Structure 1
Amino acid sequence: MHKFFEEPKKSCPVPFADLCMGNCMYRPRINCKTYQRSELICPQGSKINHFGIVLDGILKAVDQTVNGDELCHAYFEKNDIFPELLYFSGKKYYTYSLVAAKKSTVAWIPVEVLEEMLERDSLLMYSLLLYISRRGLKDQLYLNCLNYQTIRERIAYWIVGMNDIVPGETVHMPLSQSILANMLHVSRSSLNQELKMMEREGYFKIRGQEMYIENVERLQEML
């Protein structure tokens, strides 16, 4: 058991999605499909026959409240996989509806194919465990943001947390501020205003979808 986990660590920076898509043996059994914005991909209650990997765009897991309002449970961005938590916890059917939040391309892998891949390749299994662990940390991060009252504190907590999960000089931002606003449970306009103000004050610089952290210690002092 010890050997199983020690050997892959030496060469595990490759994301799970890249390992799957780069497997020449199974690549012909992976089917790619593009979906338009707002297109329903998997309705709630449909059977889980495939795992999906987001190659481009972003998907959202949604449900309807008793009042008919849309409730978003999660987003799946580039290199995210789904519905691994449902499947490996014993669920055989989608408990939410999967919708394309933007034009998106998904690689579909039959569940029996991925199970065979994981059984044959210990590095792939280890990479999947890393992915699931990091996704769990991100989900917990967004939940813990609700403990902070101000938008600035939630932004700071999110940046510090993302930097802890994937250490580096940059933090990758979601495809749109609306998505980040939903994740932090704030309005998009308020988030945009606070981000601009914090950038002017020298906490970070935003270039496209990359946030370059200028002073993580200053951010930590708010928390």
Structure 2
Amino acid sequence: MHQLPFADLCREHENYSRYLKYKTYKTASIIYSLGDPIDAIGIVTDGILKAETDTAGGEEMCSAYFEEKDILPEFLYFSGRRSYTYNLVAAKRTTVAWMPASKFEEMIEEDTRMMYSLLLYVSQRGLKNQLLLNCLNYQTIRQRVAFWLVGMDHLYEDGQIPLPVSQTVWANKLHVSRSSLNQELKKMEALGYFRRNSGGLKLLDAEGLSGLL
């Protein structure tokens, strides 16, 4: 059954969309710091955010990205952690629609459609994160790309797969260099596995990709 993404339903909600406050952040802006209280749930409407933590050696490590139509930090909030466990940073100029956490919780409690839509969103994001983790079991860039694409194909019925907002973000998710990923994508496209377009990537040979694994 086709259903609008949770982010769209939330922004169009008859009773609760009025509680959304839109804010735009410059590149590298720290929106929330480690330990800040979670008082609102956000929807990324444009741009990309990243969750950063510091290693024991003082180096910054990105643990997650939040792209357009992603929700945050609902995992922390509903698991009982009411403060940020990372620094939330704008990876580029980004706009976020914020709803008070109490109103967000009230909305999904009252509206079963919203609860169901949020469950779908959380399930899909969890699957995507699991795919990225499992990608690391493969040694070559081609295998990592193939595994990710085959897994993503199950989420999109028409074979049109939306890609991360930039190749740098995709490379970071796959734990490879941007230049290496770019070279491999060109080779795989030339071999007919997929075709890249303005909407992302059109999968052409899912069976062939599966054969690489």
Q: CA deviation at 1:175?
A: 1.1
- For the pair 1:59 / 2:49, whether they are aligned, the reply is yes
Among residues 124, 128, 137, which one is paired with 1:138 in the alignment? 128
2:11 maps to a residue whose letter is: M
Q: CA deviation at 1:209?
A: 4.7
Superposed counterparts of 1:81-100, under 5 Å: 81-100=71-90
Maintained 8 Å contact 1:137/1:165:
no
Q: CA deviation at 1:208?
A: 3.0
Secondary structure of the structure 2 residue equivalent to 1:79:
coil
Matched pairs, number: 213
Among residues 114, 117, 128, which one is paired with 1:124 in the alignment? 114
1:53-91 alpha-carbon deviations (Å, 9 max, x no partner): 000011000101122211111100010000011111110
Q: CA deviation at 1:151?
A: 0.3
4+ residue segments displaced more than 3 Å: none
Give unmatched runs, 5+ long, in structure 2: none
Superposed counterparts of 1:6-21, under 5 Å: 13-21=3-11
TM-score (norm 1): 0.93
- For the pair 1:45 / 2:35, whether they are aligned, the reply is yes
CA distance in 2, matches of 1:58, 1:188: 17
Give unmatched runs, 5+ long, in structure 1: 1-9
CA distance in 2, matches of 1:218, 1:50: 45
Among residues 193, 201, 207, which one is paired with 1:211 in the alignment? 201
User: What residue is the counterpart of 1:4 in the other structure?
Assistant: none
1:27 maps to a residue whose letter is: S
**In percent, how many aligned pairs have the same letter?**
53
- For the pair 1:198 / 2:188, whether they are aligned, the reply is yes
Secondary structure of the structure 2 residue equivalent to 1:53:
strand
Q: CA deviation at 1:29?
A: 1.4
1:172 maps to a residue whose letter is: P
- For the pair 1:182 / 2:172, whether they are aligned, the reply is yes
- For the pair 1:72 / 2:62, whether they are aligned, the reply is yes
TM-score (norm 2): 0.97
Task: Supply the RMSD in Å over aligned alpha carbons.
Answer: 1.0
CA distance in 1, matches of 2:15, 2:80: 28
